[in-house]
Structure 1
């Protein structure tokens, strides 16, 4: 049955939906704690760059940090300069990158396919769980996905059938600029992956003439003008950078388990299945739409399919796997699914809605029937309480999913576009509800239960040590760098260059701590719980000022401050 009217035909309604979407999108950037590891790390790198004014050599806890290029840090510094240092400011760049992806697929879908395809693509991408959640998490994965969306949409716009000479040139220059910005965000994948996609697409589509339409001369000039200056400057200032960055962080990371991020080859299948919700029921059909060959000229759908499959395959065979690595395929999937929504029957949409409903019901059933599994009696009481606090949020998430799915399934035949909007709204709200529910856990993991106790004791010249673990978020909230002890973690290479910035052996730290205690010098240390217990057994003099199941905070002086020092949390 054909729908009689469409909300997509009402400009006013589209504006209302867009404004509501933007309100949710931007509100969610600032109502949660920055959580380890990525959020605290990249926020702190930007804060230190802001304080030192050094935009060439990235540092973390004052230590050289060369694992990634600096574009994310630069953009965070700019937001800190404009709006002050804070949580939503630290997430603003990734939030804008996610929003940029939504806007680009809407515009590209409209220009390359149809106006309805553009709207559907924006709805699909903006509501996909992994995209919507990652855009509200301060990490490089969303930032590089945003830059690679510029690359993908640039080539689609520039190569589309019917593009004028100026549109072709501008689209390809946009593509080259996107690759350069992706390289400045996360390294060589920004150019290697699109280059490989182009080669594979050429053989699949037999579109050999595309190589004449790349505007390679101007494109290369633009690419190197954007990407090269920083690499040259950082190498001049830090001769050790090129080998570490290009060999260790690219070749070694891809071919070995050097960062201990190895996962089975099927890892990303599960991530994709969860991340594409609520559109899982349309995933395979959307990809199948990319197999069909267009009558002539540039094969846009085949380009989208090659982009999706190759990037997914590339990260699946890598020895380094993290959840957000496959984010760059979500814009291409959104466009393919949007094409399927436009061309397919209401049955496929109804199937997706019913699958979404079953997911909501299954989640609700698990939460209601097995709350003890969520709480986990084996955890410390504080962590059990945190898990118990998540349960109402999971119930709310399940109800949102179920309601959105039921509504969409009921109206898919007669009001297909409203069904798409229903699924989109439910997907976006569900992803953000889960993030809100995790906030107490995030606050705890970030170490903020101990923030007041540390701030109460702290003086401008007080050294703060982190022993047996690395605190990713506390430096940002304290506005102070920490001194690592015995646990270099990802700072190992930087500490090899500047070994004076840490204490490799715990015994050396204990000796220094005893000396500070004897002289009355105030020092503060954040210890892994096992380290604290071991130092207690050794009889190391210290005053406990804060504690939770993951860490203990100690001071090296006897006298307490007159202000509230904070009561150790229950284990």
Structure 2
């Protein structure tokens, strides 16, 4: 995992500003403990393996403990489940209707997880969690190759504890998979630059970068190429050096990219002529350049998400881009420049978009972890102790707020759903404060790596405890609470309708599609292409309901009141502030 790194005394030509490349591939790298302020820590292979096992247990243990929530988790789980059951691995379908908003990678791996491990919340979330875990390993491996094994351990620990990395890896969205592939692109280019004197090894790293770009494109579309291309161009301008562009092995690299990424796009377009226009125009250019998707935000939208998502390392932001006294060789500075450009480009790219969602900036966090590990080589243990104050204050504030969580209750979210989360916040705060205390003590003894591990594991455990408690609130956004009761009322062939409302998790928990009534939203394309699969008006639904011997419906509460007044025969089997589920009397 973390290679042994050999040390060579730098030549004058290797020093910053010399403009010359080192004589061998690893000359600018440092061994474990070298170049780091504080006591180097001897972490042997067995201890490292045990740490990774512990991290893996913490990372994957919670996946199946929470119900899927709407919209993203239900949407992507339902598409993958339908793909697994239908055997159609080309055309994605959501609730039986064609769905072309996103590429196919998540659906393929989700379908394989369902076939291999059974249908469950664990299987549904397995790919995001695995993507996050592989991202951590890639970050750790890269830092170890660049700056020594101890820096690799620090980088992995920092990335594994970043709030935004943890959170997005434990809910079913597409951004964890995209981030993994983009991280491989970034790290492969960094390692290729480090292997400049070994042409064969450099070419292999560059080919890996192109292959990872294909995975990113299949995960979320053209952004998988746009971000690496933008960073490549800006970094070359920043350096005033086109060697990075010239060294990308364009002909063979493009061959790798197109060979891996284009087959699905060709096949899905052949089967569905409408795909290309909808996917590339509506879902890419219109999404980015306009507000047609109604997900706009202020120019500073991502600032609080960056500050909160980087916890417990937020206070490191001001010094991540420094040159540093421990900078060895021209390529060390080049690595720093590329990482800084990557972070800035991702942040500004999505800030400029007409459509914003919180998880979009996730691909910058692995680069931030690498920058943090690099910068830590120069930080004095005494200085680092002060950086513990911010996360300590945040968790202490969370503890205080949790003692009066009922103040956040409302008609849509009653006080009882906040009680488990409040208790989890208190437990998490205590865990982190204890670990922060151990970190403070370790820094006093100049054990920087031990302190980082204490803080990282403390924040990861605390965050995991809070995530586990989310299910009480998540039930308000999931069909899990009423799906079992509804299934008990259904006979084979009994139709289920979604009237002027839709819960993305309903098809997953019912194990069948539902008929949409007076509801379009993201189904508009599918409903236009397959108009016989839905009902356009509530009146059509009333006519169909009255003619059926048995039926069930998930109904908007306002529409349910109207239908009651019209005397439609219905029996309520579930009701809360925002949902009504009925069966025909």
TM-score class, shorter-chain normalisation, is over 0.9
Shift of residue 161 of structure 1? Answer: 5.1
Change in 2 beyond 3 A, CA 1:291/1:431 = farther
Which among 472, 475, 495 is matched to residue 443 of structure 1?
475
Q: SS at 1:412's partner residue? A: helix
Which among 127, 130, 142 is matched to residue 161 of structure 2?
127
Change in 2 beyond 3 A, CA 1:484/1:163 = farther
Q: SS at 2:546's partner residue? A: helix
The answer to whether the aligner puts 1:339 opposite 2:378 as a matched pair is no
Q: State the alpha-carbon separation in 1 of the partners of residues 348 and 209 from structure 2.
A: 22
The answer to whether the aligner puts 1:385 opposite 2:416 as a matched pair is yes
Q: Does structure 2 retain, via aligned residues, the 8 Å contact 1:67–1:249?
A: yes
The answer to whether the aligner puts 1:489 opposite 2:521 as a matched pair is yes
Q: State the alpha-carbon separation in 2 of the partners of residues 354 and 406 from structure 1.
A: 11
The answer to whether the aligner puts 1:434 opposite 2:469 as a matched pair is no
2:199 corresponding residue in structure 1: 165
Shift of residue 172 of structure 1? Answer: 0.3
Q: State the alpha-carbon separation in 1 of the partners of residues 527 and 463 from structure 2.
A: 38
1:277 corresponding residue in structure 2: 311
1:510 corresponding residue in structure 2: 542
Q: SS at 2:252's partner residue? A: helix
The answer to whether the aligner puts 1:249 opposite 2:283 as a matched pair is yes
Q: State the alpha-carbon separation in 2 of the partners of residues 148 and 483 from structure 1.
A: 38
Q: State the alpha-carbon separation in 1 of the partners of residues 407 and 524 from structure 2.
A: 38
The answer to whether the aligner puts 1:522 opposite 2:550 as a matched pair is yes
Which among 495, 509, 521 is matched to residue 477 of structure 1?
509
Q: SS at 2:449's partner residue? A: helix
2:392 corresponding residue in structure 1: 357
Shift of residue 149 of structure 1? Answer: 0.9
1:536 corresponding residue in structure 2: 564
Q: State the alpha-carbon separation in 2 of the partners of residues 303 and 440 from structure 1.
A: 43
Q: State the alpha-carbon separation in 1 of the partners of residues 323 and 159 from structure 2.
A: 17
Report 1:163-312 matches (<5 A).
163-289=197-323, 295-297=329-331, 299-312=334-347
Which among 414, 431, 438 is matched to residue 407 of structure 1?
438
* Structure 2 unaligned spans of 5+: 1-35
Shift of residue 13 of structure 1? Answer: 2.3
Q: State the alpha-carbon separation in 1 of the partners of residues 382 and 566 from structure 2.
A: 70
Q: State the alpha-carbon separation in 2 of the partners of residues 150 and 308 from structure 1.
A: 15
Q: State the alpha-carbon separation in 1 of the partners of residues 194 and 45 from structure 2.
A: 26
TM-score of the pair, normalised by structure 1: 0.92
Which among 478, 481, 492 is matched to residue 460 of structure 1?
492
Over the residues paired in the alignment, what is the CA RMSD in angstroms? 1.9
Shift of residue 157 of structure 1? Answer: 1.2
Which among 61, 65, 75 is matched to residue 41 of structure 1?
75
1:313 corresponding residue in structure 2: 348
1:324 corresponding residue in structure 2: 359
Describe the superposition over 1:472-498 as per-residue Cα deviations: whole angstroms up to 9, x where unpaired.
Answer: 112111110111111212111111111
Q: Does structure 1 retain, via aligned residues, the 8 Å contact 2:479–2:509?
A: no
Q: Does structure 2 retain, via aligned residues, the 8 Å contact 1:353–1:406?
A: no
Q: SS at 2:501's partner residue? A: coil
Q: State the alpha-carbon separation in 1 of the partners of residues 244 and 350 from structure 2.
A: 26
Q: State the alpha-carbon separation in 2 of the partners of residues 540 and 267 from structure 1.
A: 46
The answer to whether the aligner puts 1:416 opposite 2:448 as a matched pair is yes
Q: State the alpha-carbon separation in 2 of the partners of residues 24 and 51 from structure 1.
A: 31
Task: Count how many residue pairs are aligned between Structure 1 and Structure 2.
Answer: 548
Q: State the alpha-carbon separation in 1 of the partners of residues 283 and 328 from structure 2.
A: 40
Shift of residue 291 of structure 1? Answer: 13
Q: State the alpha-carbon separation in 2 of the partners of residues 26 and 193 from structure 1.
A: 29
Q: State the alpha-carbon separation in 1 of the partners of residues 206 and 37 from structure 2.
A: 39
Describe the superposition over 1:445-500 as per-residue Cα deviations: whole angstroms up to 9, x where unpaired.
Answer: 21222112211111220111111211111211111011111121211111111111
Q: Does structure 1 retain, via aligned residues, the 8 Å contact 2:90–2:267?
A: yes
Q: SS at 1:484's partner residue? A: strand
1:562 corresponding residue in structure 2: none
Change in 2 beyond 3 A, CA 1:80/1:10 = same
Q: State the alpha-carbon separation in 1 of the partners of residues 214 and 345 from structure 2.
A: 20
Q: Does structure 2 retain, via aligned residues, the 8 Å contact 1:93–1:143?
A: yes
Q: Does structure 2 retain, via aligned residues, the 8 Å contact 1:522–1:555?
A: yes
Q: State the alpha-carbon separation in 2 of the partners of residues 474 and 21 from structure 1.
A: 33
Shift of residue 400 of structure 1? Answer: 2.4
Shift of residue 411 of structure 1? Answer: 2.5
Change in 2 beyond 3 A, CA 1:163/1:138 = farther
Q: State the alpha-carbon separation in 1 of the partners of residues 63 and 90 from structure 2.
A: 28
Change in 2 beyond 3 A, CA 1:2/1:59 = closer
Q: Does structure 2 retain, via aligned residues, the 8 Å contact 1:144–1:190?
A: yes
Report 1:78-93 matches (<5 A).
78-93=112-127
Which among 65, 69, 94 is matched to residue 99 of structure 2?
65
Q: State the alpha-carbon separation in 2 of the partners of residues 485 and 389 from structure 1.
A: 36
* Structure 1 unaligned spans of 5+: 559-571
Q: Does structure 1 retain, via aligned residues, the 8 Å contact 2:37–2:380?
A: no
